[in-house]
Structure 1
Amino acid sequence: MSALRTSLARLSAPRWSGAVSRARVLPAVRTQIRTYKADPARDAMTGEIIQLPDIDSNLTKITLTDSPKKRPASSKLVFGHTFTDHMLTIPWNSATGWANPEIRPYGPLDLDPSCTVFHYAFTLFEGMKAYRNADGTVRLFRPDKNMARMNRSAARIALPTFDGAELTELIKKLVMVDKDWIPQDKGFSLYIRPTLIATQKALGVGPSSDALLFVICCPVGPYYASGFKPVQLLATTKYVRATPGGTGSYKLGANYAPGIVPQKEAMAEGYSQNLWLLGDEHALTEVGTMNLFVAFKQADGSVELCTPPLDDVVLPGVTRDSVLEVARDHASGKTPIPGLPADIKVSERKLIMKDLVDAEKNGTLLEVFGTGTAAIISSVDKIGYEGRDLIIPTGPAGMGAISKAMLDRIVGIQTGEIEHEWSVVANDVKI
């Protein structure tokens, strides 16, 4: 039935109002805006609405800023502090569906103090990046994964889902409008933050009648600006990041604020982040806000690259999935990766702290690293646990052979140096 409704929605032709306007024109950007609104899909016999309008990138209104901001030097960038000239907004209502998307000058949102997001934390977000090559090519990295995860998070907290391919097209439009904000310096990129919030103007715990999807962007430099540095973790048993049956596997705003106090306490003890443990066995889940990988040397000389299973306490990270696929393709012989062990086995299984303690003692603990959008790969050289530090091997450059090979491979794909289906070119979008 859902497939039928989707097909009917696609066949419903939008009605044109006939109004045509032009946005202000910047050099090399010429945008014509046609104002129209798609009708909901209706039953051919009864006229009953069977599907409300989904996001449609063809309905985009683009209003360019009259006051472009001065772009700072790449060396002055601080992650998440400088934003581009424009943003994307798409309102939603339970009775009318998704409204027309708008790319407009970056600025404050007009929200009522009673909005559901402020009182019950109806908010979710994604993190992704765009990269610009010297030839002007702009690329996104696996945006379909971000869209799928965003929809999954939305469904979990009763917010509206959407056509991920259409939102990807809109993100391409936004990125291309602000493409000059993408630094071309090596290691720099444009961080993209799609966000969805509930905006119903009323108190009361229940599904929101209104929502707003918006996307903002900020130019960012290398995560390790002064060179790669491994991090130190405190394996905490005092706090729990997520529990079975909870929302730890969703990218919700409510999952992040409770981690700040534990991180401050870890830093006060000389560690960079927390290693989140779960249950009486002290099962490993995540490291800070990143996914976790551990490499063990096996008795037969092979290497096991292991990560905790997703279940419902671990976030399905895009970089995590990429590392797993790269490792599996290497192990199968499909795509050999320089630097990875010839005989490597990939596992998604339960890991407990005793596994790491025993491996450190007998010399079979090879590497520990985290994966995430911001840092991509972050090596670990020390884990504080029950009053002592486990020392993790790292190479002379601050990372082991596996993490280095993974970083090189993924960055090569992201920047287009390695041609791959995961690297999605944005330049062909119509704006």
Structure 2
Amino acid sequence: MMRRLLPRCAPRATAAFIAPRRSPLGLFPAARQYSISPEAASETKLQDIDPSKLVLTRTSKPKPLKKAEDLVFGATFTDHMLTIEWDKTTGWHNPHIVPHQNLSLDPASCVFHYAFECFEGMKAYKDKAGQIRLFRPDRNMERFNKSAARIALPNFDSKALIDLVAKFAKLESRFIPEERGYSLYLRPTMIGTQKTLGVNPPGSALLYIIASPVGPYYPTGFKAVSLEATDYAVRAWPGGVGDKKLGANYAPCIVPQREAMSRGFQQNLWLFGEEEYVTEVGTMNFFVAIQNKQTGQKELITAPLDGTILEGVTRDSVLSLARERLAPEGWNIVERKLTMAELDEAATEGRLVEAFGAGTAAIVSPVRAISWKGKMVSCGLKDHEESGEITTKMKNWMEARQYGDEEHEWSYVC
């Protein structure tokens, strides 16, 4: 068993009543823009994460390596884990790398009762020279801090944690297969650990990182999926936490996904509001390539960051690559709201070129069709095609930078 990770329970804070602010018209409470400027859990300057104080305890029982083709996404784990405790009096404690093991938490820990939990998904890649590379870790750390702050968990120095992630990835590098398409999936996680049933900001927390060697996300290979447009359940809403990577966002999506799969579809396409705005596909951001009805110009469209859409690192990378390489070819790169009716009209008129999801796990996932209101909306692929031209280009462009084939500032050499 792992050593006890809980500091002594901090005294319970007394909640104070705060009258809601009113709008200039005095009719409704003014909205608090948490998504724009969240407050960190600790306002006092405490000890930050210090990579120089890392304590390494190597496992005495190294695991045998699995064959690359036998890896199932997120099912196999490496020898070690990184742990860093925090408490509101001291700040961040010394980081430890220890053998992968169970956590020991009090059953009253606030993570179990009030979902004080956030996480990140990132990967480490092995290039042709055997070097280990991270892909845009600064963006992951930025989002990790935003997620933590939104649920009153502590913030940290991003560069310090990137340093530790790099050390951890190098230590576990033997688990990364040499074959293209394989990587080490890293899961930084932060949980509130204070043992209390009072609803207050946690007085203690644990940040830990585990790692899993992975291959292609879809075992069947790079093939197009079919979606079910989902309007009976909502993934996120304005003023909520859909733009944060919280565990609480994911569990409620499983039942709608299971229902879609029971009807023969691989994932949900989440719609929002009476207008049926297209938001995300499963746990990925969603892109469509269409020909503008008025101008005839080709457009790559994705939903805007309005607080309901996750700020995907892959999403941002796709947009950056599109502006760099597609815009000079005449493409218009657009972040705007798009309705399912618009998408259907474009498909009916032959203007829908292709569609794909974008996320860390799969990079890009081509979409063949969308079930909506009893009809199948074709997303531009011919029967013999599994991916459109833009989707394939994005996959290749992204992998070139992830694996170091193309030297770029997005690739962080550990």
Q: What is the TM-score with the length of structure 2 in the denominator?
A: 0.88
Q: What SS does structure 2 have at the residue aligned with 1:194? A: strand
Note the C-alpha offset of 1:301: 4.2
1:223 aligned to 2:217?
yes
Pick one of 290, 306, 309 that aligns with 1:314: 309
CA distance in 1, matches of 2:168, 2:70: 23
Q: What SS does structure 1 have at the residue aligned with 2:341? A: helix
Pick one of 296, 299, 307 that aligns with 1:304: 299
Match of 1:8 in 2: none
Note the C-alpha offset of 1:227: 2.6
Match of 1:371 in 2: 358
Note the C-alpha offset of 1:249: 0.7
Deviations 1:337-359 (A, max 9, x none): xxxxx210000001011111110
CA distance in 1, matches of 2:218, 2:252: 25
Q: Output aligned runs, 1:403-418, within 5 Å.
A: 403-418=391-406
Match of 1:99 in 2: 93
Note the C-alpha offset of 1:265: 0.5
Match of 1:209 in 2: 203
1:420 aligned to 2:408?
yes
Length, aligned pairs only: 370
Deviations 1:313-332 (A, max 9, x none): 00000000000000111245
Match of 1:85 in 2: 79
CA distance in 2, matches of 1:385, 1:298: 22
Match of 1:37 in 2: none
Pick one of 27, 46, 53 that aligns with 1:52: 46
Deviations 1:218-247 (A, max 9, x none): 100112334311111111111000110111
Note the C-alpha offset of 1:135: 1.6
Q: Output aligned runs, 1:7-406, within 5 Å.
A: 51-298=45-292, 300-331=295-326, 333=328, 342-394=329-381, 396-406=384-394
The residue type paired with residue 423 of structure 1 is S
Change (3 A) 1:253 1:281: same
CA contact (8 A) 1:140 1:424 kept: yes
CA distance in 2, matches of 1:289, 1:226: 19
RMSD: 1.2
The residue type paired with residue 352 of structure 1 is T
Note the C-alpha offset of 1:283: 0.6
CA contact (8 A) 1:379 1:394 kept: no
Deviations 1:267-317 (A, max 9, x none): 111111111011100011100000000111135443100000011100000
The residue type paired with residue 410 of structure 2 is W
The residue type paired with residue 354 of structure 1 is A
CA contact (8 A) 2:153 2:201 kept: yes
Deviations 1:353-372 (A, max 9, x none): 11111101111011111000
Match of 1:23 in 2: none
Q: What SS does structure 2 have at the residue aligned with 1:214? A: strand
CA distance in 1, matches of 2:218, 2:346: 29
CA contact (8 A) 1:235 1:275 kept: yes
List alignment gaps of at least 5 residues for structure 2.
1-42
Note the C-alpha offset of 1:259: 0.3
CA distance in 2, matches of 1:128, 1:225: 19
CA distance in 2, matches of 1:416, 1:394: 31
CA distance in 2, matches of 1:135, 1:363: 46
CA distance in 1, matches of 2:301, 2:92: 41
The residue type paired with residue 309 of structure 1 is P
Q: What is the TM-score with the length of structure 1 in the denominator?
A: 0.84
CA contact (8 A) 1:228 1:397 kept: no
Identity %: 52
CA contact (8 A) 2:347 2:380 kept: no
CA distance in 1, matches of 2:297, 2:272: 29
CA distance in 2, matches of 1:134, 1:292: 31
Q: What SS does structure 1 have at the residue aligned with 2:390? A: helix
Task: Report which structure shows greater RCO (CA 8 Å, sep ≥6).
Answer: 2
CA distance in 1, matches of 2:162, 2:191: 18
The residue type paired with residue 310 of structure 2 is L
